[in-house]
Structure 1
């Protein structure tokens, strides 16, 4: 049996060498290194960072699969080993509950982006400046706050906001998605209407429109957060190079913003945009790959 296995390996190696000679060694290298599975949520920052990391890992020779999930399912997928990593863990506040429930099965690779913010966002032209003013302005915003997907930590925090400020009776939190939230915001701005949405930084909407956060006197949303990269246990042993790249991944809000804005162009493909950005930022990419 050992002889057969050895012969099989020899045939496989010879076949790979022949294919490489035909000019497609890159795809063989990727297959030989294995597949990295990245989980993410359909937030603009998560779509951008996940596709950038996909492009970088593919440059390093890996196959990469990406799966869009709810926030809770994303954390569970990495904890259970169904996914290898995620680049969009908002800590210490937004995803605090998910982290506490799964931290014993995860490896926190640390911050990949510093200086995030969560809160309620309004057009700059509105007279609203603080959350505690919403009680008197419920009618002007149609008695609702436009939210995102119901599993998001931001939505849970916003429910706490409604409770803390005594707004549950007059204002509803509407579930939706990042896309439906920005569509509602765009429509309101077009008509110069008041609107309140759940928002976060970094997000491309702040580059497109003149917006502001409502003050949060009770500090329910907390202070600035960071976005962490989280990996499954065992990834370092199974794919040490991929683990190193994920561990080294770190960029600024401005760099992330470049990719997010590219993704808002009509008909654009986030994956193709990520590949173009990676190609134009090879010095940073080489640092992530540990080659500089």
Structure 2
């Protein structure tokens, strides 16, 4: 009987200690639902870090809330920060978060129309108000692109309204309009799988309200480098070029199970993923 108790107690201790170790390696990543590139990169990071022995959970919220959560120490990292313009003012409000480096360069955002639309610049829009119905289909309020589009309306004195909804709803409206060959304006960004699915173009922005090409960076909370140096180093190293980003987004868009697709993508790109686990930069 005593021997049985010793075995049970030993088993419980092992379970407790292993669970404690698991909890101690918990990493929380912020992600915005519907933002294709952010979701794709975050799922890949989750899979890579899970394989390295971490328990990675996703925190879904708007960018402002994720920045505040990192600043409070509740979220460890967020991988979809567009700089210098889109999120520049937002991250500047918080003192306990910082960038670990560039994940993707050459990102664009602005007003997007189907390629069959015959105008090419924002300053042509008022002349074609009736063809567009006087509206632009936007995404969630609180996003950087929604705020930038408000400035575009003022700077160009456009007689339009921005209709804000979810990213999924915006894509649905775009898909329907393209199918019917209707003129439509959406607020869009690249990288995004919609540019592979549809023939689209950005309207020129002569006043540079949206800014020029941006970079996507990873941001982390204060202290992550001391608590999880391997994870911190991972976010210093992770990056995607045009080819790998396009490949990832195309596979995610076609996927019926994005977590499984992330696993397959990591399997197929293991050599690249291994480079993300180099030692932390000084």
CA distance in 2, matches of 1:69, 1:145: 24
SS of 2:225's equivalent in the other structure is helix
Number of the residue aligned with 1:283: 271
Q: Contact (CA 8 Å) 2:41, 2:79: kept in 1 or not? A: yes
RMSD, matched Cα: 2.1
Tell me how far 1:96 sits from its aligned partner.
1.3
SS of 1:138's equivalent in the other structure is helix
Number of the residue aligned with 1:176: 165
Match of 1:196 among 171, 185, 192: 185
For residues 103-182 of structure 1, the aligned pairs below 5 Å read 104-167=95-158, 170-182=159-171
Structure 1 residue 36 and structure 2 residue 27: aligned? Answer: yes
Q: Which runs of 5+ in 2 are unaligned?
A: 1-8
SS of 2:117's equivalent in the other structure is coil
Q: Which runs of 5+ in 1 are unaligned?
A: 1-9, 20-26
Tell me how far 1:245 sits from its aligned partner.
1.0
Tell me how far 1:259 sits from its aligned partner.
2.0
SS of 1:199's equivalent in the other structure is strand
Number of the residue aligned with 1:270: 258
Q: Contact (CA 8 Å) 1:33, 1:61: kept in 2 or not? A: no
CA distance in 1, matches of 2:200, 2:163: 20
Name the CA shift for 1:290/1:12 in 2 (closer, same or farther; >3 Å).
farther
Q: Contact (CA 8 Å) 2:101, 2:235: kept in 1 or not? A: no
Structure 1 residue 51 and structure 2 residue 39: aligned? Answer: no
Structure 1 residue 95 and structure 2 residue 98: aligned? Answer: no
Number of the residue aligned with 1:67: 59
The one-character-per-residue Cα deviations of 1:2-45 (angstroms, maximum 9, x if unpaired) are: xxxxxxxx9589836xx9xxxxxxx9797165100001112001
CA distance in 1, matches of 2:222, 2:23: 21
Match of 2:221 among 232, 236, 251: 232
Structure 1 residue 217 and structure 2 residue 209: aligned? Answer: no
Aligned residues: 269
CA distance in 2, matches of 1:159, 1:173: 8
Number of the residue aligned with 1:24: none
Q: Contact (CA 8 Å) 2:78, 2:220: kept in 1 or not? A: yes
CA distance in 1, matches of 2:251, 2:21: 27
Match of 2:237 among 216, 229, 248: 248
CA distance in 1, matches of 2:53, 2:20: 5
